[in-house]
Amino acid sequence: MLNRIFGLETEYGLLVHQDRPDHSPTWFAHKIRDHIFQVQRQGVLDLHHRGHDEPPGNGGFLMNAGRIYLDMGHVEYASPECQSLTDMVATDRAGDMILQRAVQDLGLAEQVSLIRNNVDHETDATFGSHENYLVTRRFPFSRRGLAPLVTFLVTRQIFTGSGRVGAASPQDAWIQMDRLIVPRAALGHGAASPQLPFQISQRADHIVNDFFEWVQQNRAIVNTRDEPLADPNQYRRIHLLLGDSNMAEYATALKLGTTGLVLQLIEDGKAPRDLDLDEPVETLQEISQDQEREWIVRLQSGKSLSAIDVQEQFLAAAKAHCQGQDEETDWVLAQWETVLQDLRGDYQQLVGRIDWASKLWLLETFREAEQLDWLDPMLKSLDLEYHNLHPQKGLYYGLVEEGRVPRLTTDKAVDLATEHPPRNTRAFGRGELVKHLLTCGPPTDTEGALKEERLFPAYVINWSIVQVRGREAFPMADPFKTYVQEVRSYLANP
């Protein structure tokens, strides 16, 4: 894709298969993390505080330059920086493979399951799949400038949603109104949803703002935190947390690719006009919950049209402005058009490509065979099993085995991506440092070094800067640069 860096952060559910387990899911999460870093030696643990909730040892960088860490008790994997959708899908799936291998290596595969989804049906909790897109500092990051992005994001769930049984309870949250922060319920929002059999998005019920900076309890369509993890004079990072975790490689690539193209349209002043939504948050939830799948949205102009119509306007603008700029762009445009056409017909045409359609087809097939009502708890169990990372248990992998799922990568490519970062971003240089530390270890523990260690850890690795004790800090402010030769020289010359 043209001038774009992508990244994904995935939080995993952890299901314990015991009525009275000896250990909590968090205990198992610690075991998995420790096994990856201390036994399998897939990476190096942090030696410094990354924040009040990330003490030393909470997580670390991997050989593939991504990260595994614990967040609010969940295992989370952050991919390395990627320039292509092919690399993005491979490195994203590499996180699944690293974690599932650890579970099996520990002999825990019959006790626990890692679930790549976004909802806990028992507690009504949600956990995230965060998308990251690098844009220039010139990007119009204002309510007016971001309005086309909000409209696109609200309506893209028709092909990016992972689907779920039921609905979440009303969310207790606060909304920013001018300079005031007021309860959402005070504005008449958040009324109880009727009991739903199925909806197309897992995260929609949990999004309560259009724009907000902090993610806990005030999840927004666009997160406004300004944390570029790169040269702040040149770049901004668009951080999104409204999307679902996708099992289908096709859906992952389409989600990232279409969003990347819409960002390009906004950057270049070519985004469709007059598509501002009347109530973005409510529209997000109404689309997800629409049992007839008509997906009608109301614009600020008073006009009503379908989410498919809206998406087709973005597609037309992207075809006019972006077609022919590179091979991946043309793939995204072709698949975007095909999916929108198929969405106008029988949803079963999308099985294997789009997660909500695949899951709905599996659940409907089972429900009809067993004569079950949508309220039967078995359906919630099957909902979770669609996302199970165990290749012999996960329902998604059953579709793969049946040949119903188009692959964008291969098992061999994913295996390589567990230890090798993309070779055209700064992830390459960071991966060299991690491999050096695993092979050679930190600097020799002389008596002086041991005294220093209380104040200065043997190494510090962050996304945009690294330091090995005894050397100056080494910034890596440009995500498009590999820094591999510079890192090798840095390590060779104390």
Stretch among 135-149, 329-343, 430-444 having the lowest mean pLDDT: 430-444
User: Rounded to the nearest 5°, which phi and psi values hold at 209?
Assistant: -135, 160
Cα–Cα dist 224/240, whole Å = 9
The per-residue pLDDT for 449 is: 44
Q: Is the pLDDT of residue 393 over 90?
A: yes
The per-residue pLDDT for 191 is: 47
The per-residue pLDDT for 359 is: 98
Q: Which of 431, 413, 423 is nearest to 63 (CA)?
A: 431
- Per the CB < 8 A criterion, the answer to whether 77 and 68 are in contact is yes
The per-residue pLDDT for 445 is: 46
CA distances from 214 to 143, 162, 211, 241 (A): 17, 24, 10, 11
DSSP 60: E
Cα–Cα dist 2/260, whole Å = 9
Q: Which of 13, 107, 4, 3 is nearest to 380 (CA)?
A: 13
pLDDT above 70 covers a percentage of the chain that reads: 91
The per-residue pLDDT for 187 is: 52
Q: Is the pLDDT of residue 159 over 60?
A: yes
Active site residues: 71
| pLDDT tens figures, 305-322 | 999 999 999 999 999 999
The per-residue pLDDT for 192 is: 45
Instruction: Give mean pLDDT, residues 139-144.
Output: 93
| pLDDT tens figures, 200-220 | 999 999 999 988 665 555 788
What single-letter amino acid sits at 141?
F
The per-residue pLDDT for 448 is: 45
Residue 217 corresponds to which tokens in the numbers above? Answer: 């309890």
The per-residue pLDDT for 124 is: 86
Stretch among 190-194, 266-270, 481-485 having the lowest mean pLDDT: 190-194
Q: Is the pLDDT of residue 454 over 90?
A: no
The per-residue pLDDT for 450 is: 47
Q: Is the pLDDT of residue 181 over 50?
A: yes
Q: What is the pTM of this model?
A: 0.93
Stretch among 48-57, 242-251, 476-485 having the lowest mean pLDDT: 48-57
| pLDDT tens figures, 327-358 | 999 999 999 999 999 999 999 999 999 999 99
| pLDDT tens figures, 252-289 | 999 999 999 999 999 999 999 999 999 999 999 999 99
| pLDDT tens figures, 67-99 | 999 998 899 999 999 999 999 999 999 999 999
What is the distance between the terminal CA atoms of the chain, rounded to a whole angstrom? 37
Which residues, including other chains, have CB under 8 Å from residue 266's CB and lie 6 or more apart? 139, 140, 145, 146, 148, 149
Q: Is the pLDDT of residue 165 over 80?
A: yes
CA 48 to chain centre: 25
- Per the CB < 8 A criterion, the answer to whether 14 and 33 are in contact is no
